[in-house]
A and B are shown apart, each in its own frame.
Chain A
Amino acid sequence: TQLLEQSPQFLSIQEGENLTVYCNSSSVFSSLQWYRQEPGEGPVLLVTVVTGGEVKKLKRLTFQFGDARKDSSLHITAAQPGDTGLYLCAGPRAGGTSYGKLTFGQGTILTVHP
């Protein structure tokens, strides 16, 4: 079974602080996705990382895929209240035809206080 462990589960910070969310597994993933979810809505894809060691930037968000493709991180610089939400990592299940089946981490609830 491929599991994705996210840490921390909860993060409460002040506006302007930096933070990092981790997504770890003992299994190799062909790619990892990061989603952000706001209350009452479905998750929205932020980025997909595919290559080991890859770094992608989305404004103040930096995503990194581990060299061995077993882990990923999301770093937010100078967090703003608008960054508040649930952040989820997800990866496609391995073996045969995956049909796009995803394994999700438990999620990190981020609260940024003004």
Chain B
Amino acid sequence: DAGITQSPRHKVTETGTPVTLRCHQTENHRYMYWYRQDPGHGLRLIHYSYGVKDTDKGEVSDGYSVSRSKTEDFLLTLESATSSQTSVYFCAISKTGNQPQHFGDGTRLSIL
């Protein structure tokens, strides 16, 4: 299995609070991705990174920011969480943009 660790695995927080999710990889892969998974929507890309300090928006980036200060860590931040951001969040990594992605086990985030 690809070495991907997401933390925390579960989190419950209140509307308006900041939340940071962490994705840590031990594979030294260049590409990292954050997705959210909601019933009936499959997975939707939030942000992605193609190298240290190189990030860009995905299809559902509003309300989210990311940072990648080193190869192994990709952080997803909800500056002011809203109930619509309740979801399961998955991190994925890929050696190159053309190779398959390997996924972490997800973070279940509930915003009350």
Contact = CB atoms under 8 A, between A and B. Distances in A.
Given A41-B105, A42-B103, A48-B100, A100 B40 contact: no
Contacts of A102: 43, 45, 101
Nearest to A97: B97
Nearest to A31: B98
A25 interface: no
A103 B40 CA distance: 14
A41 B106 contact: yes
Secondary structure of the A contact surface, majority rule: loop
A104 B94 contact: no
A104 B44 contact: yes
A88 B31 contact: no
Contacts, number: 58
Interface residues of A, number: 23
Contacts of B33: 100-101
A68 interface: no
Interface in A30-84: 33, 40-45, 48
Contacts of A104: 42-44
Q: Across chains A and B, which 5 residue pairs bring their CB atoms closest together, nearest first?
A: A42-B103, A104-B42, A100-B97, A104-B43, A45-B100
Interface of B: 4, 31, 33, 40-45, 48, 50, 56, 58, 90, 92, 94, 96-106
Interface of A: 4, 6, 9, 33, 40-45, 48, 88, 90, 97-102, 104-107
Given A43-B103, A88-B42, A98-B97, 5 more contacts: A43-B43, A99-B31, A102-B101, A104-B44, A106-B41
